[in-house]
A = this chain, B = another copy of it.
Amino acid sequence: MVAPGSAGRVLLAYSGGLDTSCILAWLIDEGYEVVAFMADVGQEEDFAAAEKKALAIGAKKFFCVDLRREFVEHLIYPSVQANCIYEGVYLLGTSLARPVIARGMMDIVEQEQCQFVSHGCTGKGNDQVRFELAFYALQPKIKVIAPWRDPVFYNRFAGRGALLEYAAQKNIPVFQTAAKPWSTDENLHHISYEAGILEDPDTTPPADMWKLTKDLKATPSEPERLSITFKKGIPVEVIVHPSGAEAVASTEGTKVTDPVEVYLTLNALARKHGVGRIDIVENRFIGVKSRGCYETPAGTILRKAHMDLEGLTMDRDVRKHRDAFLTTGLSSVLYNGYWFSPEREFLQACLEKSQETVNGRVRLSLYCGNVIIEGRYSDTEKLYDAEQASMDAIGDFVPEATSGFIAIESIRLKKWGEARNSKAGASMKPESVYYPLTKTD
């Protein structure tokens, strides 16, 4: 038996649940002094009860840090600016919260002079990687205790039964809520569902699984109209228009401008209208395919609105270069847990520059799961020119110029076509000009 506290001081990412409660007790058994840490990133949680429980189990101290504003401003909004998405579908809800929590923990680690951090993540997931890469990048000297990767721990507690037995022995109260047949992770941005029955990718999630967003059949029968104003790609104002207000450029309605309030307002509206559910088989960083279901209400609106405004205000070729690396690059940085890294700093500098012109307002409506763009406007960016775009007005445009353009663009193609046509049997029939059809039998 080790002398209590002799092994050093640990900051434990504590959730109040069975796993981290047992880890807390076990760390004490192993001779550590434990400080419990909870991050408020917007999840639904009884923080006071968790504090009481942690201290009862033996934590020396308990910290609950409100990181919601930091989460919105430093993580969510850059991901909106970059249109971040993983494998074409996932809006990175869990990934975005991890750097914020890790940052909060390292702050307490410094303040409380902990030599160790610990967490309850399993050994197969992404979150252990995201947490630990962030810990090491911020504080290279920190030591990590990951019980679910330590054979001493995971062999002893193989299965829920062993945990429950240990909890009983340690007087850890266990709330016998009927366990859901899946795991969740919730924050201001999203909730995830995975594991359990969802591990069969052909199982349709039960209707009562979805927590944040309304079932489509229960959404309001009238659309909700709103306008979002962006400055440099950041949503700086939301106006929720009164019912029936369909007039173009309406500026009437409830207005919010604080970044967090903007986000909360969009979340509330999206939830009410059933916006933001997805279901995906994705590739984890450790190389395993995994199925996840997610609800990202406000994030879904913001991605669509932001991309729409880029159409109006971003130069075509800036966009082309941006698209070649930035969205995918930053999404992968986020998913794999490299927020605190030189590459993220590089990408974020590129992002800032790309967003300089993304200024304007997008009008949209929400209805039965749909985010419908209704119009967009910018009073500062003037790349769109209705007269120039017009099919009816010629304006300054000299139509013959296009003939020259096409003549030049076709030089290369004509050379190629001549070579093709000089081959034996060349004709204008489909079998001669197309790539062979994919054989599907």
Contact = CB atoms under 8 A, between A and B. Distances in A.
A236 interface: yes
Contacts of A289: 311-312, 316, 383-385, 389
Interface in A372-386: 372-377, 381-386
A320 B319 CA distance: 18
A87 B311 contact: yes
Contacts of A347: 321
Given A136-B413, A430-B74, A317 B341 contact: yes
A29 interface: no
Contacts of A373: 278-280
A349 to B, nearest CB: 4
A415 B349 contact: no
Interface in A138-193: 138-140, 144, 146, 148-151, 154, 158, 183
A20 interface: no
Nearest to A328: B323
B405 A315 contact: no
A60 to B, nearest CB: 20
Interface in A276-312: 277-284, 286-291, 307-308, 311-312
Contacts of A268: none
B149 A403 contact: yes
Contacts of A136: 406, 410, 413-414, 417
A336 to B, nearest CB: 8
A88 B77 contact: no
Interface stretch (A34-42, A44-52, A126-134): A126-134
A208 interface: no
A340 B83 contact: no
A391 interface: yes
B369 A343 contact: no
A204 to B, nearest CB: 4
A190 to B, nearest CB: 17
Contact of A348 (B133, B286, B435): B435
A115 to B, nearest CB: 15
A350 B352 contact: no
A368 to B, nearest CB: 4
A154 to B, nearest CB: 6
Interface in A348-363: 348-350, 352-355, 357, 363
Interface in A108-143: 109-110, 122-125, 128-129, 132-133, 136-140
A13 to B, nearest CB: 15
Given A129-B402, A406-B128, A413-B133, A325 B321 contact: yes
Nearest to A67: B430
A409 B287 contact: yes
